Structure 1
Amino acid sequence: MTSQATSPNPFTDRAFRDAMGRFPTGVCVVTAKNAYGESIGMTVNSFSSVSLNPPLVLVCLGEESPRARAIINAGQFNVSILNQEQVDVSNHFAQPGQGLAGEGMVVAGRNASPVVPGASAIVECNVQAQYPGGDHVILIGAVTHLSTDMSVEPLLYYAGGYKKLGGEA
């Protein structure tokens, strides 16, 4: 008798992905220093505020990614909420691999961890907790510093593509 893995869900992974893609999100890059002191990052769109008092945020990082473990182990991380002109930055950090920052792609934040310059907002955090979340790790950050640039519009992601508030990116 052979065991066959079956999904308890009455829908496919693609159907789930398509449904979730109907929810527009911002595009963020989560950055930290790896164990070698190199600036690393990964593009995420699963980012949210959790609490106002104390100020907490969460990001969901792919469990299989070595970058996720490096970010968690760093003890602090930063979230750069990209502006609508930073599609290239998003694409760079979305690529598989080590997620090393290219020359001039990041600068030191107030906490000395990297941030993406020109982002529409930057949220600097200390790792507070982590929780399993299926094939992701839910990382909770205690916010230590903020900066916001109200002169730029955020980059959005919707239905499998980048968008601007006024249309396509």
Structure 2
Amino acid sequence: MSPPPKAQPPAFSPKEFRSALGMFATGVTIVTATTAEGQPIGLTANSFNSVSLDPPLVLWSLARAAASLPAFSTGSHYAIHILAADQKLLAEKFAIKGADRWSGVDYATGVGNAPLITGAAAIFECFNRSRYEEGDHVIFVGEVERVTYKPGAAPLLFHGGRFYTELPL
């Protein structure tokens, strides 16, 4: 029996790949949790997607090199916040390595002690159902236990390295 086929080496540079990925406009999220020591953690991510309606599942991914990976991997819950258009500064703050991300941030505590940031367009409170290691990232699948959202809220969007808000066509 012959071995399974493998993908050919890429015919593009990492920079070209990143630039091509930037052509896909995404929403902007902040994913939050609490460490085993009770400290809030969070990061900006645009790798969010729905998976299933029954059961309600969503996914996001995190670099294996991220300092927060152990906390997200071992914690029971996390919250995914779809940011509203007026939360650009918050998205930038939670994207900076080494910054005091929680200074001045208004939040409550949700399921599994996950911080819930005030003002988000939607929040998915998730049980940390499964993780898959692929390439240089870990894919997290969360089972949504609670959802809140603001009907009609304008989302924060990201495309080509810049932030945008929606404009209906």
- The TM-score, its normalising length taken from structure 1, stands at 0.89
Partner of 1:161 in structure 2?
Answer: 162
CA contact (8 A) 2:93 2:101 kept: no
CA contact (8 A) 2:30 2:83 kept: yes
Partner of 2:94 in structure 1?
Answer: 93
Instruction: Provide, for residues 64-108 of structure 1, a one-character-per-residue CA deviation record: whole Å limited to 9, x for no partner.
Output: 112122122111100000000101111111111376522334221
CA contact (8 A) 1:41 1:99 kept: no
Whole-Å separation in 2 of the counterparts to 1:105 and 1:68: 24
How many residues are aligned here? Answer: 161
Gaps of 5+ in 1: 1-6
**Pairing 1:59-74 to 2, within 5 Å after superposition:** 59-74=60-75
**Pairing 1:1-169 to 2, within 5 Å after superposition:** 8-97=9-98, 100-166=101-167
- The TM-score, its normalising length taken from structure 2, stands at 0.89
Letter of the aligned partner of 2:162 in structure 1? Answer: G
Whole-Å separation in 1 of the counterparts to 2:39 and 2:101: 7
Structure 1 segments (4+ residues) deviating >4 Å: none
Of 24-33 and 87-96, deviating more is 87-96
CA contact (8 A) 1:66 1:98 kept: no
Percent same amino acid at aligned positions?
36
Whole-Å separation in 2 of the counterparts to 1:110 and 1:33: 11
Whole-Å separation in 2 of the counterparts to 1:96 and 1:115: 20
Partner of 1:3 in structure 2?
Answer: none
Of 102-111 and 64-73, deviating more is 102-111
SS in structure 2 opposite 1:94? coil
Whole-Å separation in 2 of the counterparts to 1:91 and 1:20: 19
SS in structure 1 opposite 2:65? coil
